Chains A and B, each alone.
Chain A
Amino acid sequence: MLDIATAYNKYGFLGNEFLTWLWFMIETGQDISQSVKTKDPVSLEIGNSLILENTLGDNAREKITIKGDQAGLEEGTTALKKGAKVTEMNLICKLGPEEAYQFTIKGDSFNITGMKTPAAAGDGSADEIEGRIIEKALLVFRITQVIDTLFFTFLAQRIEDDWKNKGFDQMRSWIYND
């Protein structure tokens, strides 16, 4: 393995491209379930925040933050046209008919903040604590497994020989509304 700090800086762009790809998948109504090949249907929506960054000359960066429950994302697509990538996004992920998760994920670190999982059953009494812990652990592992599977699906497409003609061109057409 490469030195961790070097690898973090060198390959952070893969996480940002992944989030940009997720936005493309959501906006173009692509079947996420097909991508992750799970038994239960998986659906994704953009939540209440989206942050994009564009590297300008001399290491300067332009940051575009869109926040709000019903915020329009037009400024985001404008930023994409100027070369920005998504660096952080809030997602609502539904697994099956009942499990809804909401969280913010950062592209370079894959750190997750503000994660809301479905409520664990029980009244919080000491007797039930073990059950609540196990249920919560299962929920946390399940959602991170979905994120990993989506990331690996993106990477599998990204290294395909026809990425330029398929994935890349489709994303560019979406960005430019061709």
Chain B
Amino acid sequence: MGFLSATQSMSRYHILDVFDTEPMEQVRDGLIQHAIPTLENEYEEISAGWTPFESPYLPDFEQFSFVFGTYFLFSLRIDKKSIPAKLVHKQMAIEIEKKKHASGRDFVSKNEKSEIKETVMDVLMHKMPAIPNVYDVLWDYDAGNLFLFTTQKAANEFFETIFFKSFNLKPVRLFPYTLVETRSAFSSADKDRILTLTPCHFSR
């Protein structure tokens, strides 16, 4: 569910620290350096990187902008090869039969099975196209506010890693505790009081 879709799902981040120099250049450099490769690596199970919001499948930050008004908007693309278990079973059965026929035996050893499985996985991984998933990122740099338009745990983890690698800024996921610590106007004394609260029980 992308940023301009009728409905969105999102997780929120607070960005600690700021760039030392002009943010737009720093963001541009980070996006270009960690853009998703145009050519798919045939042997990699997962590949992830940035791509322009308006061009998720052609990651060209020279042609497409990531600046809209005072916001940065771009996308995280995660391409993942996933091999269906049933396909592995089928290929294994075929290769095991071939092995038995070639050896003249009516069985294959455990080691041989492992080798066959490794070969089958390699071949399938090579043949299988990666499925792309695109998650939009909206960043209000001045306010240190960022939205990742997904709530999938794996996508959040990829995002946190790639964001830090790209910009050397730490994204802090916002939930009750971090909201109080990073975005509230509570005094230190009030924050301390909040952190000593314990759950209240309404049942009698």
Contacts and interface: CB of A to CB of B under 8 A. Distances in A.
A31 to B, nearest CB: 22
Contact of B176 (A1, A112, A115, A151): A151
A110 B174 contact: yes
A133 B10 contact: no
Given A137-B68, A159-B194, A14 B177 contact: yes
Given A83-B201, A152-B184, A172-B202, A136 B179 contact: no
A129 B54 CA distance: 9
A67 B31 CA distance: 42
Contacts of A39: none
Nearest to A134: B69
A140 B138 contact: yes
B15 to A, nearest CB: 14
Contacts of A130: 68-69
A97 B97 CA distance: 71
B9 A83 contact: no
Interface residues of A, number: 52
Interface centre among A1, A117, A137 (most CB of B within 10 A): A137
Contacts of B10: 111-112, 115, 140
A114 B7 contact: yes
Interface in B167-195: 172-181, 183-186, 190, 193-195
A132 interface: yes
Given A14-B197, A141-B140, A111 B8 contact: no
Contacts of B180: 152, 155
A176 B199 CA distance: 19
A137 B176 contact: no
B69 A144 contact: no
A162 interface: no
B33 interface: no
Interface residues of B, number: 45
A32 B68 CA distance: 33
A111 B68 contact: no
A144 B12 contact: yes
A83 B201 CA distance: 6
A10 B199 CA distance: 10
A168 B176 contact: no
A133 B7 contact: no
A159 B190 contact: yes
Contacts of A148: 179, 183-184
A117 B3 CA distance: 11
B183 to A, nearest CB: 6
B73 interface: yes
A99 B154 CA distance: 33
A4 B204 contact: no
Contacts of B102: none
Given A18-B176, A81-B203, A171-B202, 18 more contacts: A11-B176, A11-B195, A17-B199, A17-B200, A83-B202, A109-B175, A112-B8, A112-B10, A114-B9, A115-B7, A130-B69, A133-B73, A148-B183, A152-B186, A155-B184, A155-B186, A168-B200, A168-B202
Interface of A: 1-2, 4, 7-8, 10-15, 17-18, 80-83, 85, 107-117, 120, 129-130, 132-134, 136-137, 140-141, 144, 148, 151-152, 155-156, 158-159, 168, 171-172, 175-176
Interface of B: 3-4, 6-12, 53-54, 68-69, 71, 73, 138, 140, 145, 147, 151, 172-181, 183-186, 190, 193-195, 197, 199-204
